[in-house]
Structure formats: C-alpha cells, structure tokens
Amino acid sequence: MIEIIGLTKKYGSFYALQDLNLTIEEGVVFGFVGANGAGKSTTFSILSTLLQPTAGDAFINGVSITKNPQEIRSRIGYMPDFFGVYDQLKAEEYLDFYGASYGIKSDERKALIPKLLSLVNLEDKRYEYVDHLSRGMKQRLCLARSLIHDPEILILDEPASGLDPRARVEMRDILKQLKSMGKTILISSHILPELAEMCDNIGVIDSGKLIAHGSVHEIQAQLQQDKILHVRAAIETAELVRFFEGDPFVSGITIDEGSGSISFHYRGDDLQQAELLKQVSAVLPILSFHPEETDLEDVFMAITKGVASK
C-alpha cells in the first residue's frame, strides 16, 4: 500500500505540489492525469526518492520514502519521462549495466535479460545500439529497465507519450501483464481517456493540487458536475456574452463565431440552470440552450482550465 501524506514541493515561493494526500492499494493500477506542469513528474520523482519534498511524506508498506530511501529504491521501479543518450551501448548491455547497478549477479543477469526483452517485445533488438532504437522501442526498453530488480511497485512517467496507436495498445497489454503479476502500478498521462482504459483508479492533478480521485466511474461523475452550456440567440453574440458574464456560476465564456453561439462553463445545478434559461429567454430571443455532450477529454479540459475546450 502507498500512503501519501501532505506531500508538498516548493520552488522558491511556487508550489509545484501542494498538500497531496492519497492512498493507493496494493495491486492497483493508479493513473495520475494532469496538464503540462500540473505536478505529475514532481510527484513521481519524490515517490522514487530522486527529489526531496519540502513537506509531507509517503510510505510504501509503512516504510518512509524520506527516511529510508535506500529500502524504497529496492521496492520500486521508476521509468522517467525522458530516456537520455547512451552512446555505443546495445540494448542487452544497457539492461546489464542497470542490473549490475542493482547488485544483480552476472549469471542471474544473463538469464533475466532475455526474459525482460521478451516481456517488452524487444527480443530481436537485443544486439541493437540503444541510440538506434525508435522512440517506442526506447520506451519499452526503459520499462524493462525499471523491472530489472523485480520491484513490487512501478512508477511510470508518461510511458505512452509519443507512441503510435499500435505501440499504445502494446504498452497497455504489457501493463496488463504486469498487473496480473501482482504489481502496483502508478502511471501518468495528460490524456484522461488513455488512462481510463488501463487504470482502476485515477487522480486528477492541477496546479500541484489533487482535484479529484477515485474509480474511473466516480471521476467521471465528479467531473461532470461541471458542465458546458451552449447558447445561441437571434442577436449579436456580444449581447449574449453581456447577459451571462455577471453570473457567479458562469466562467470561461467562449464565442463561436462560426455558429453564432457562445459556450461557457456552468457550475449551477439543474434547477439553477432551468432558472437561468427562464431569465435569459425573458429578455433575449434564444434559439437554443443546451449542455454539451461531454466526453472524458472535454470534461478534463474544462475542469483543469476552467474554460470550454471547444
């Protein structure tokens, strides 16, 4: 079990991570979703003991990541969001190098490396130079590297970023396999639907704060309380904007000149929405007034940016 308690990281006066509290059960695939700069890599670097938090702590099966980083490192496998340059190193040598750095004996490494390469579908690249591998192959090799000491927990920072659709499916299948081996997996992405497909639970992080977490279904329900309304009227859009911009439940008004409509983020409940429609219809010639059909991606965009995504 991973328990994150009050985890905070400050750079000067800037909070990259602010009071993160979260419990992740064993054997779960947990997805961290957030926009660029939300704090995903910061969280993962801290959990991987590569970065010291400013405040708070996290415990892996009761062991503190700040007090016992050495023990934590033997229990987690970390895949960073960048690969690095490995001049003149072949795939096999790359894994051998990391295996040795974890203190795995030479004989064991010899037996282990083909198995790992097979797990990530890179058997045929065993003697290829690492720098000659494609991006997707490098990512899979990096995943193999994070598995070399058979960790209980995998922390994978955007493992599917930049992969083509087929490579994404392959990555998902590999993660499924790892889950079936009993590993707890933390994975990050800035694409919610991508995580929804492979995760049991999800946390949404925005500007260093966890703004929602739970099962995929719970998140969907939680986030969809924030809806986007589209309004069209037989008048200039500027007049429509003027009507809605003072409403405390309205934010992020966007004008769509093409359709002559406006859209905005609406935080009121159904009754308040009905009242709003009544009021606007009383003074303006409304042609249509409807909530947007939300898919996960739209909802995520709306909640993290506070404006409509379209």
State in angstroms the smallest separation of the CB of 42 from ligand ATP.
3
Judged by CB under 6 A, does residue 204 bind ligand ATP? Answer: no
The two counts, helices (H) then strands (E), for the chain are 11, 14
Q: Is 226 strand, coil or helix?
A: coil
83 or 289, CB closer to ligand ATP?
83
Q: How many residues bind Mg ion (CB under 5 A)?
A: 3
Residue count of the chain, please give it. Answer: 310
- Token pair listed for 204: 């949404």
- For residue 306, the partner it binds in ligand ATP, Mg ion, none, with Cβ less than 5 to 8 A by kind, is none
Q: With CB cut-offs between 5 and 8 Å by kind, which of ligand ATP, Mg ion, none does residue 34 bind?
A: ligand ATP
**Is residue 95 within 8 Å of residue 173, measured between CB atoms?**
no
Q: How far apart are CA 233 and CA 281, in angstroms?
A: 9
Q: Which stretch binds ligand ATP (CB under 6 A): 29-37, 87-95, 119-127, 228-236?
A: 29-37
| Interface characters, 72-111, with ligand ATP (x: CB under 6 A) | ---------x------------------------------
The answer to the question of residue 39 lying near ligand ATP (CB under 6 A) is: yes
Of 260, 263, 262, the residue nearest 227 (C-alpha): 263
Closest CA to 252 of 298, 295, 309: 309
Specify the 3-state DSSP secondary structure of 46: helix
229/254 Cα distance (integer angstroms): 10
Tell me whether residue 36 or residue 88 sits nearer to ligand ATP (CB atom): 36
List the single partner that 184 binds among ligand ATP, Mg ion, none, CB under 5 to 8 Å by kind.
none
Of 40, 125, 179, 213, the one binding ligand ATP (CB under 6 A) is: 40
Sole window of 80-88, 223-231, 251-259, 267-275 interacting with Mg ion (rule: CB under 5 A)? 80-88
Gap between the Cα atoms of 202 and 192, Å rounded: 9
Longest distance between any two alpha carbons in the chain, whole Å: 81
Q: Which does 70 bind (CB under 5 to 8 A by kind): ligand ATP, Mg ion, none?
A: none
Is residue 37 involved in binding ligand ATP (CB under 6 A)?
yes
Burial class (CB in 10 A: 0-12, 13-18, 19+), 258: exposed
C-alpha to C-alpha distance for 199 and 19, rounded to whole angstroms: 23
Segment 19-48, which members bind Mg ion (CB under 5 A)?
Answer: 40-41
Residues in contact with ligand ATP by the rule CB under 6 A = 11, 16, 34, 36-42, 81, 190
Residues that bind Mg ion (CB under 5 A): 40-41, 81
